[in-house]
Structure formats: structure tokens, C-alpha cells
Amino acid sequence: MPTDSYLIHIFGGGLGVTTDDTISISRIGHRWIIERLVRDHNWCGKQSFDRHNPCITTDVVRHEWADGGNCPEISRAMLQIADAWRSDEIIPDNMRPTVTDNPKFTIAAKRGSKNIRADRTAAEFGGPLSAWWRNTKARIYDCWSDAAPLSSGVPIKPRLFPTWN
């Protein structure tokens, strides 16, 4: 049975701090599953006692899952994404300044049902779609797990894999 799916990529930052997040949102049966791969790079993530080199670079990587079967906030958030897509505030990426400390937020929607009329992609440095994800992420904060959810008693296979060195 075809279903809608979304792929989000958040990349960027400033002042030596970079985020590189990839989020896959899809339906399995009647529940939404979110898989995310997060990399936070910080050139001075830890302090050193070496006065010539006081900073230690950190690279934190997490692979996490949220299961809509255990987290009703996910279903509520997925009902709200349509409003974010329809917003008049989405400005084409080439119309925005690119000098920013905000990471670039890119989302692709893949049509699988009547809820999405066509495959669609949008990118922004701040706007209704990135605000939708920021709010969703806060609402499902307690839903994340390191373990993949089960489908028919078997862990769901990951779709996301690190592409950085």
C-alpha cells in the first residue's frame, strides 16, 4: 500500500558549530515512524588544560527512532504539516540571503496517497516548514529511542546511514 513519506535534511551552522541531521518520516501500517541521524560537530566542544590548545573538537553522532504507535504527538504533528506546506511564507531558496548562522532546512515529500498531491521539495533558512519541525521535535522529545521500532515482531531496517567521514 503506497503511503506518504518525507525526508528532511538540516545542515549548517556557524562559529565552528555545525549540525548535519537527516530525518526520514514514513508510515508503516497505521503509524508514523521517524528515523533520524544526527551529527553535531563543534570545534571547541570540550575544554583542554593545554594553554596552547584550549579546545578539543567534538563530533556527536546519534541514530534515533520515534514510533507513532507509542507517541500520539507524531500523528498530531503529521496532521499539521499540510498547513506548513500551504503557507504563503515559503520563499524560494534563491530569494533568501545565504549568509546566516541558521542551518538550511530542506524537506522532500514523496507522494504515496491522496494527502500529497505531488512530489514536492522546499528549502529555507527559517520559515513555516522548519518551524513545524522545530515544534514537532520539542513535542516528541520524550519519544526518541536508540532501538528501532518493531514491525511484525522484527526491527525496522534503517534507511539512514552516515555519509560523512
Taking only the tens place, the pLDDT of each residue in 108-156 is 888 665 555 567 788 888 888 889 999 999 999 999 999 999 999 999 9
Cell numbers found for residue 148: 528501532
> Residue 68 is which amino acid?
G
Answer with the residue of higher pLDDT: 107 or 66. Answer: 66
Please give the full DSSP string across 61-93, using - where no structure is assigned: EEEEEEETTT-HHHHHHHHHHHHHHH-TT---G
Q: How many CA atoms lie within 13 A of 18 on its CB side?
A: 11
Q: Which of 36, 22, 28, 59 has the alpha carbon at shortest distance from 140?
A: 36
Q: Looking at the chain, how many residues does it have?
A: 165
34 with 145: CB under 8 angstroms? Answer: no
pLDDT value of position 33: 96
What integer is the mean pLDDT of 30-59?
89
Say whether pTM exceeds 0.75. Answer: yes
pLDDT value of position 118: 61
Q: Is residue 2 over pLDDT 50? A: no
Q: Which of 9, 26, 35, 3 has the alpha carbon at shortest distance from 145?
A: 35
Q: CA–CA distance from 108 to each of 40, 94, 114 (Å)? A: 22, 17, 16
